[in-house]
Structure 1
Amino acid sequence: MERRAVSLDRFDAGAIRPAEPARTPLYHQIYLVLRQRIVDGEFAEGDILPGEFELAEVYGVSRITAKRALDELAKDGLVRRERGRGTMVSHRREDGPMQAQFEGQLEDLLAMGLETSVDLLEFAYMPASAEVASALDCAPGDEVQMSVRVRSVRGEPFSHLTTYVPGDIGRKFGEKDLAQRPLLALLEKSGVHVDAAEQTITATLADTGTARRLDTTVGAPLIKVVRIVQDIDGRPVEYITALYRPDRYQYHMNLTRQAEGKAKVWSPSRTGYRLT
């Protein structure tokens, strides 16, 4: 394997902010910057990273801080540190990322369920909270089915899914079914004609439980997707909060300019996802 020594540009230091009580520690900031460049493939398997002294100089931190950042990368299995040889990237980016594009339809969600594996972590029937009742257009206390799942691609977790389904629909399939088949497929098998969805995409940080389940660090950035799925009569049939690791999941769309009155606006023509 060809090895090359990678270099850091001076502007890299601009990504590091002075450590204040409310901000992420300096070593973790450096860790996140290097980790992203490794995951993105900019630093490839076999590359030699700069040493502690060079990192300290570039980022304007102490050698101990730089060392801790490299130690964190090694702890995550992204690099291998060897005395006298330096720090070598050991992470291999998989070729051929899974991707799909479905012109704004819900079939992409079903396809994702079919090409990934799932672990069902929680399953129960319970009274709807005020939040869930509002999303599913039912009364607080009405029975709903709740599940928590983690989806993985090539054995690596990328999404944490918390889902609520109205009780009369959820009683038509059970825990074993949900562990084996995508929820959308189960809804359709139960006689639900899925027609539309309302979706909001924001960002959040991983808490202790989510970080453990997604094999990431507490405070790591996550993509947060909240979606309410409706049937052909407009009834909400699913309320889901999905948290995605941005290094393993990307949401993308193609845009076209369309006339709207006298102005032209960008309008999504095709949407889809990418699993890296």
Structure 2
Amino acid sequence: MGTAQLTAVPEPKYWHLRSVLLRAIDSEFSIGEVIPNERELAARFGVARATLRQALDQLELEGRLVRRRGIGTLVAAPRVGVPVSRREEGWPGGSREQAWHTVDCVSAPAAERLAQALGVPVGETVHTVRRLRVEQGQTVATESLHVPESVVAQVPEIRLSGAAAEADDHARSVLRRLERLTVDGESRAVELGVAEAEEATLLQRPPGTPVLVVTTQYASGGRLAALAVSTYRADTCRLTFGETGLVEVTPVAPVRTAS
């Protein structure tokens, strides 16, 4: 096997400044404390204001700083631990409702991509329930829960009355029908992404904000019953897995390299 030379890539000025600022923040400031303004920081570190703003923007995206209008830039609190284990999440429509709040529900024919993901024919009606997850009074995630009509077709629609019979009546009915099915199992996948315009608006963050995308497949009756795509703010969330709240790691045998 040939040997490739790695070419050193110059570190951008703002990225180097980000690292310098991070060390200063960790050693000199406490959580919630206001850091000096841009003019003072630019003078202290001998950089242009434009370079400083890039570094501050990066630290805000990473969740290390937070800007408050009329106050300034503060040192952010640690990320919120958000459990995504089956014990905490449960079957949609059940215990999950304690953390998830319904936005709306749309029923429409499935396009090719969604139909393929759900294993249903193109054009089959799919109910999509959109929800927000709130932790400690802060919106930390959005979710699109896709449920094929063929999955809940045998479950009678549930008509709600009183205060529940509002705009979210349809969403609640879909969730209640789904809840009455028996869950056979579920699987989750997590990947890094960025918030698109609609998600960013719901999360109250600018488009392009780093997010963690959790895709959950729920099985019932030997088939895929529902698909949930949950988008978490990477700047404020720390996802936890497993019954203990920790990620379970399986030791891997060391990889031998050819000599």
1:188 equivalent among 151, 158, 179: 179
Percent identity over the alignment is: 21
> Residue in 2 aligned with 1:44?
31
1:250 equivalent among 238, 249, 254: 238
Structure 1 alignment gaps of length 5 or more: 1-15, 19-25, 266-276
Relative to total residues, which structure has the larger strand share, 1 or 2?
1
Secondary structure of residue in 2 paired with 1:242? strand
Of stretches 164-173 and 219-228 in structure 1, the one that deviates more from structure 2 is 164-173
1:238 and 2:233 correspond: no
> Residue in 2 aligned with 1:208?
197
Using CA pairs under 8 Å that are at least 6 residues apart, name the structure with larger relative contact order, 1 or 2.
Answer: 2
> Residue in 2 aligned with 1:165?
147
Shift of the alpha carbon at 1:71?
A: 10
Contact 1:78 1:89 survives alignment (8 Å): yes
TM-score normalized by the length of structure 1: 0.60
Shift of the alpha carbon at 1:234?
A: 2.4
Contact 2:82 2:237 survives alignment (8 Å): no
Tell me the C-alpha RMSD between the 2 structures: 4.2
Opposite residue 223 of structure 1, the aligned amino acid is L
Contact 1:257 1:264 survives alignment (8 Å): no
Opposite residue 148 of structure 2, the aligned amino acid is P
1:178 equivalent among 171, 176, 185: 171
Structure 2 alignment gaps of length 5 or more: 1-10, 160-167, 241-245
Secondary structure of residue in 2 paired with 1:108? helix
> Residue in 2 aligned with 1:217?
206
> Residue in 2 aligned with 1:118?
101
Structure 2 counterparts to residues 8-19 of structure 1, below 5 A: 17=12
Aligned residue-pair number: 214
Structure 1 pair 180/54, CA: closer, same or farther in 2 (3 Å)?
farther
Contact 1:211 1:217 survives alignment (8 Å): yes
- Separation in 2, partners of 1:254, 1:202: 15
- Separation in 1, partners of 2:247, 2:78: 25
Shift of the alpha carbon at 1:150?
A: 1.8
Secondary structure of residue in 2 paired with 1:138? coil
Structure 1 pair 223/256, CA: closer, same or farther in 2 (3 Å)?
closer
- Separation in 1, partners of 2:215, 2:57: 35
**Deviations for 1:168-192, whole angstroms, at most 9, x for unmatched residues?**
34563574263599x4x65232xx1
> Residue in 2 aligned with 1:130?
112
